[in-house]
Amino acid sequence: MNHAVAPQAMNSLVIRSNNRISTLMLTALGLGGILLVALGSVLIGDRGITMDFSARMLAPSWQHWFGTDQFGHDMLARTLHGLSLSLNVGLITAALSTAIAVVLAMLAATGGRWADAVVSFLIDTTLGLPHLMLLILIAFALGGGTTAVIIAVTLTHWPRLTRILRAEILQVRSAEYVQASRQFGKSWWYIGRHHLLPHLLPQTLVGFTLLFPHAILHEAALTFLGFGLEPGKPAIGTLLADSMRYLMAGNWWLGLFPGLGLLLLVLSFDAIGNGTRKLTDPRLSEV
Amino acid sequence: MLEAKNLSFGYPRQPAIVDGVSLTLRPGEITGLTGPSGCGKSTLGRLLAGVLKPQSGSIQLAEPRGGVNPVQYLHQSPIFAVNPRWRIGRIIEEAWAPDEATREALGVSRDWYNRFPHEISGGELQRVAILRALAPEVRYLIADEITAMLDPITQADIWSFLMQRSREGLSILAISHDRHLLQRIASNEISL
């Protein structure tokens, strides 16, 4: 009988401890990856920017982990520079988009029927247009460059979060526990502070974190297509566009490593976003 | 005493759901309210509690409404009436800090205080919701099918506690489909 009971008990114990800890580990890993990129690009300084014609087109080796390009740039250094550039653009655009989303969601949920109709119309219009098309249009109209990319990505990434936050505010405001709170004589200020904010803050934080990878990917896509950052800057999009010319000649490392770096950066943000969501929800965090 | 006269309420573009209802709730009485589904029992309960405003008619209340409302409304499903992100202790103390005697009489355990609402059972949560609604200022309790989803033992427990409170002066409007329950607890009955 002992044999029959013991494995089951152990099993449930493993599952219990696993979920929360593994989420935390994954989140920490994602955060570590992002810090590594941010710190790494500062530490390597000029490497990857200055040319070295004695080391052109070298395959990956112990000296150059990611190989070198046609100007003798070290690709590891260049990838780090590119990722850190993406990180900056992503941070600015995600913050701006989130700010737009919060303001519009508040307006829609508390500003009455007309404000709600206008905001919903704006959301539907922006979501209805093809994403990349709108991005190219705005970036092109603004003449390209870093500022144009930031504005284009910001203006196209707010609708989804706005929609989520608007629904969340409406739902909590009409919830029965808010009605109950009113019955206990609590003010709207108290309800906003203690009932609404604890619901909105994690949503906003997660929305902000999950906007990052979108913004980064779209920045890279715009740059790859030639509507984005200036060609001289070592952005991931530029690196990938440049690598296209040499891939046919067998220089695979020019495309593989920057692409892989971008993928890992995006996955890092995803891990942080999902981790935050799981750890701040009492129902999910204790599963 | 709570006196409602000629209360009417309707939702937009629909016939009035509560149409000219008058009733009186007196201290120390349990009034039963029954009627078919959709006839406006809960709406009437919400009007009396001040959650909804009547379109015509008047509600006269001896006690002032500022602060904790002397008329408290209790839901059938307590899970919706509590914030899912708050722990039980904080949920109860949003309204008042209950004395030990009331807490124990309702069978609310101190052990629950650190848990989230989804971590205790429906019956336990309903006890929590009742405890929360019994602040000292409260004179009237609108109990809207509060025991409909509970097992018979919990149901008997809760109602014997509420009948004790009623004998001490609390006025209760018991909304229910269960005629047998109302026959046992109510001193007078209204049919909508």
CATH of the domain at A199: 1.10.3720.10
Give me the residues of chain B with pLDDT under 70, please: none
**Is A179 close to B135, i.e. CB distance below 8 A?**
no
CA A99/CA B108 separation, integer angstroms: 44
DSSP A216-240: HHHHHHHHHHTSSS-TTS--HHHHH
Residue B116: list chain A partners with CB under 8 A.
Answer: 282-283, 286
pLDDT at residue number A145: 85
Best probe of the B interface among A171, A182, A183, A287, by most B CBs < 10 A, is A183
Q: If pLDDT is split at 50, 70 and 90, which confidence band does A5 have? A: very low
- Cβ neighbours for A186, distance < 8 A, ≥ 6 positions apart: B94
Q: Is the pLDDT of residue A271 over 80?
A: yes
| Nearest-by-Cβ selection for B81 from A180, A186, A286 | A180
* The predicted structure's pLDDT at residue A231: 77
Give chain A positions within 8 Å (CB) of B74. none
Q: How far from the centroid of its chain's Cα atoms is residue A137's Cα? A: 22
| Cα–Cα distance, A178 to A269 (Å, whole number) | 34
- Residue A282: closest CA among chain B residues belongs to which residue? B85
Q: Is B192 helix (H, G, I), strand (E, B) or coil?
A: coil
* Inside any domain, residue A13: no
C-beta atoms surrounding A287 within 10 Å: 11
Average pLDDT of chain A to the nearest whole number: 83
Candidate from A185, A195, A282 with C-beta closest to B68: A185
Residues found in chain B: 192
Lookup: tokens for A282: 């009492």
Q: Is residue A70 part of a domain?
A: no
pLDDT given for residue A286 in this prediction? 61
- Which residues constitute the domain of residue A154? 18-48+88-285
Q: What is the pLDDT of residue A62?
A: 78
Q: Is A263 on the interface with B (CB under 8 A)?
A: no
Question: What pLDDT, on a 0 to 100 scale, did the predictor assign at position B162?
Answer: 93
Q: What is the model's pLDDT at position B174?
A: 94
Q: Enumerate residues 184 to 243 of chain A having a beta carbon within 8 A of any beta carbon in chain B.
A: 184-186, 195, 198-199
Is the pLDDT at A2 greater than 60, yes or no?
Answer: no
Please tell me the distance from the alpha carbon of residue A198 to that of residue A181, in angstroms, as a whole number: 15
Out of B49, B67, B84, the one facing A283 most closely (by C-beta) is B84
What is the per-residue pLDDT for A177? Answer: 93
CB contact under 8 A, B68 and A176: no
| pLDDT tens-place string over residues A94-112 | 999 999 999 999 889 888 8
User: What is the model's pLDDT at position A11?
Assistant: 46
Q: Which of A146, A130, A28 is CA-nearest to residue A85?
A: A146
**Alpha carbon separation from A65 to A3, A33, A56, A140, A240 (Å, rounded):** 52, 18, 14, 36, 17
Tell whether A104 is covered by a domain. yes
Contact A183 B50 (CB under 8 A): yes
Q: Tell me, what amino acid is at A150?
A: I
What would the mean pLDDT of A161-182 be, rounded to a whole number? 91
Q: What does the alpha-carbon distance between residue B89 and residue A45 come to, in Å, rounded to a whole number?
A: 54
Q: Domains of chain B by range and CATH?
A: 2-191 (3.40.50.300)
Q: Report chain B residues whose CB lies below 8 A from the CB of A179.
A: 51, 73
A140 domain-assigned:
yes
Give the tens place of pLDDT for each residue, A230-252: 877 788 888 888 888 888 887 88
Question: Measuring CA to CA, how many Å separate A154 from each of A128, A190, A215, B6?
Answer: 16, 33, 8, 56
As a three-state string, the secondary structure of B113-179 is HHCCHHHCCHHHHHHHHHHHCCCCCCCEEEEECCCCCCCHHHHHHHHHHHHHHHHCCCEEEEECCCH
Chain A residues with CB-CB distance to B95 below 8 A: 184
- Residue pair B113/B131 in contact (Cβ under 8 Å)? The answer is no
Nearest to A184 among B68, B82, B116 (CB): B68
Query: For residue A275, is it within any domain?
Result: yes
Contacts of B164 (CB under 8 A, 6+ apart): B105
| Contact assignment for B94 to A181 by CB distance below 8 Å | yes
Backbone angles phi, psi at A108, to 5 degrees: -65, -40
- One-letter amino acid at B26 equals R
pLDDT digits (tens, 9 = 90+) for A33-76: 888 888 888 888 777 777 777 777 777 877 777 877 777 778 88
Position with higher pLDDT, A280 vs B130: B130
Instruction: Indicate the residue of B69, B83, B118 with minimum beta-carbon distance to A177.
Output: B83
Q: What is the pLDDT of residue A287?
A: 54
Distance from CA of A195 to the nearest CA of B (A): 7
Tally of domains within chain A: 1
Q: Is the pLDDT of residue A6 over 80?
A: no
Q: Which residues of A touch B68 (CB under 8 A)?
A: 183-185
pLDDT above 60 for A18: no
CA terminus-to-terminus distance, chain B: 21
| CB contact (8 A) between residue B94 and residue A183 | no
Distance from the Cα of A184 to chain B's closest Cα (Å) equals 4
The pLDDT score that the predictor gives to residue B86 is 93
Q: How far is A179 from chain B (nearest CA, A)?
A: 7
Q: Is A113 on the interface with B (CB under 8 A)?
A: no
* pLDDT for the residue numbered A1: 38
Pairing status of strand B188-191 against strand B56-61: unpaired
The CA distance from A160 to A162, in Å, is 5
Give pLDDT, residue A7: 43
The pLDDT assigned to A232 comes to 76
Which residue is listed with tokens 């052990």?
B111
pLDDT value for A266: 87
